Structures are given as C-alpha cells and as structure tokens.
Amino acid sequence: MIGKKLIELARVDSTNAYASLLYSDSDFEDGTVIWAHDQFAGKGQHDHQWISESGKNLTFTVCLKPRFLAPGSQFQLNKAFTLAIIDFIRSFPNQASPAPHPEAFIKWPNDIYVGNQKIGGILIENKIMGSTFETSIAGIGLNINQTRFAPDIPNPVSLIHMLRHEIVLKDALHSLCDFLNRRYLELQQAGNENLDQEFNENLLGFDKWRLFVQKSNKIEGRIRGVDKSGLLLLEDRNGEISAYNHGEVEYQINENNAGNAGNADNADNAVNR
C-alpha cells in the first residue's frame, strides 16, 4: 500500500508542507508518497531546518489514515517507521567494517544513527479529530549518496560510506516503502507488544550506563525504554526511573561518552521534517 501512489517532484520547499496543502481535506489515497529530488526548506525538529544535497538523498513524505490507532497511541507509528528504516539499512551488506550489515540504531525519539553518526530520521505530524485519528503525514529523510556535508553539521554519515558505491534513489525508495509497509501492517494487525520490545532493544544506548545532559548538567543513567506517550524512561544509579520529553535530556553521542553533549538536532541534515 505505501508507495503504490507516488507523486514525484523535482523541487519543493518541504514535502510535509506540500502534503499538508495538497491534502488539507484528508482526500488522498492511503499510503500516498510524495518524493522530492530537491527539498530546499525541509522542516526539522523544533523549527530546525533539514538540509539535504539535491539529488543525493531520500526526502519524502508518507500520507496515511491510521484510524485503527487510538489518539493516545500515536507514538506507535513513530516506532513502526523508525524500525522500518532500521530494517532497510540493515538489509545492505557493510563494506566499511567487519560487521556484515550497518549497525543502525534509533536515537530517541526519531533520529536514525549508524554507530555514533546520524544517517536520517523522521517527523510525523498527526491530525486528530475528537477521539479519532484522522491523518498522519510522516516526513522521512535518509542520507544515501551524499559524501560531503557542511562543517557545522554534526556527525553525519550516508549509506554510500558503508556500501562504497552509489545507489539508485528510486530503487532505494521502493525498497524502503516495502519495509515501511510491512511495519505498518504489523502495527495494524499484530498490536503493540512486540513492537514496543523491539523498539526499546534498538534504542541507541538501551540498558547501558551513559552520560546525558539535563539543563546543562551532566547526569548518568541508562535507558529503560519509552512509555506509551513516547517519553524516555531513564534510570539513575539509585534505581529511580524518570520520564523525559524530547529536549529535556540529551544524549552524549561521542564514542567515549564524555565531552560535549551530542545534540544532533541543533543542525539537522538530510531529513524531510
């Protein structure tokens, strides 16, 4: 279903914004994909801009009507789609390290990392009417063939760095849509329990003691998962678990887990959000 109808654009400011204008009345085929070769004003988390080199990466939006979901379960769609991107990345052989496939993880809440480098992410915008989940516009971006990034963009990486060759973007889009569709059907048919466990286990830093930054202070904790609303559950050394919203606590990303806080959202790249 996802990708069966494809709207291909040469250039647009933001595929999410384009989808919102085009389908303001919710009159669209479920699973419609809007793909832009050049997105020059992509939306990032918290009003950050999403930067992607023209014709090198995937920047697209999936338009859905997930009316089987309760409004309080909207973060489940985030889980399904981030896991689908992980599935897609891990489907490739890794030519850059001894690992057979790229070691991809989810940096809560919606970024995708390979090792300690950001390769993509999502931004989902939902429309809820009363107790009904009307529509969802899921912007997705993934670094594919881009090899050079602006120096002020932190820790970026592309699939080409692991594969050692370019990928045909349209082929990659069709493949990724297949993975998205599988996870979407799994969410619709199988419920949440398996999805919850798999999402937690694929979180960057899950069940490992790490340093985080909260209000400019370094704290030590380990991720225990997320709750039903998508809040990060962080355990301290006393065994107490606290729930955090996005922006209230940040990972330290660098390899030795010390030094400057690794907030990759300060300068987003290659995600259509």
Per-residue pLDDT, averaged over 255-264, amounts to: 38
Whether 78 is covered by a domain: the verdict is yes
Q: How confident is the model at residue 273 (pLDDT cuts 50, 70, 90)?
A: very low
Measuring CA to CA, which residue among 193, 196, 224 is closest to residue 210? Answer: 224
Predicted local distance difference test score (pLDDT) of residue 264: 34
Cα–Cα separations (whole angstroms), residue 102 to 78, 92, 94, 116, 119:
21, 7, 5, 12, 11
Domain with 251 in it: what CATH number?
2.30.30.100
Task: Report phi then psi at 82, rounded to 5.
Answer: -65, -40
* 152 lies in the same domain as 256: no
Q: Which residue has the tokens 């209000």?
A: 215
Phi, psi (deg, nearest 5) at residue 127: -120, 120
Query: Is 34 in the same domain as 124?
Result: yes
What is the strand order of the sheet 232-235 is part of?
241-244, 232-235, 217-226, 209-214, 250-251
In percent, the amount of the chain with pLDDT more than 70 equals 88
The amino acid at residue 120 is G
Number of folded domains that form the chain: 2
Question: Is there a domain that residue 120 lies in?
Answer: yes
CA 189 distance to own-chain centroid = 22
Q: State whether 155 and 251 are in the same domain.
A: no
pLDDT the model gives residue 47 = 54
Which pLDDT does position 46 carry in this prediction?
47
pLDDT attached to residue 52:
84
Q: Which of 200, 220, 244 corresponds to the end of one domain? A: 200
| Comparison of pLDDT for 201 and 96, the residue scoring more | 201
Whether residue 177 sits in one domain with residue 219: no
pLDDT at 263: 34
- Residue 217 belongs to a domain: yes
Residue 182 located in a structural domain = yes
Residues 128 and 64 in one domain: yes
- Which pLDDT does position 96 carry in this prediction? 84
- Mean per-residue pLDDT, 229-252: 94
Residues 156 and 258 in one domain: no
Domain of residue 214: give its range. Answer: 206-263
Instruction: Please state which of the ranges 32-36, 153-157, 172-176, 236-240 shows the lowest mean pLDDT.
Output: 153-157
- Residue that finishes a domain, picked among 175, 200, 225: 200
pLDDT of residue 23: 83
189 and 125 in a common domain = yes
Residues 38 and 90 in one domain: yes
Strands 117-129 and 132-142: antiparallel
User: CATH number of the domain that 91 lies in?
Assistant: 3.30.930.10
Tell whether 71 and 21 lie within a shared domain.
yes
The answer to whether 252 and 258 are in contact (CB under 8 A) is: yes
Residues 156 and 254 in one domain: no
| Mean pLDDT confidence for 121-143 | 93
Asked if residue 56 has pLDDT above 80, the reply is yes
Domain endpoint, select from 180, 200, 220: 200
Task: Please indicate, yes or no, if residue 255 is contained in any of the structural domains.
Answer: yes
In this prediction, residue 257 has a pLDDT band, given cuts at 50, 70 and 90, of: low
Decide: 60 and 35 in contact? Cβ < 8 Å.
yes
Alpha-carbon distance values, 76 to 133, 195, 205, 207, 259 (Å): 12, 8, 20, 21, 33
Q: Are residues 124 and 41 in the same domain?
A: yes
Same domain, yes or no: 42 and 132: yes
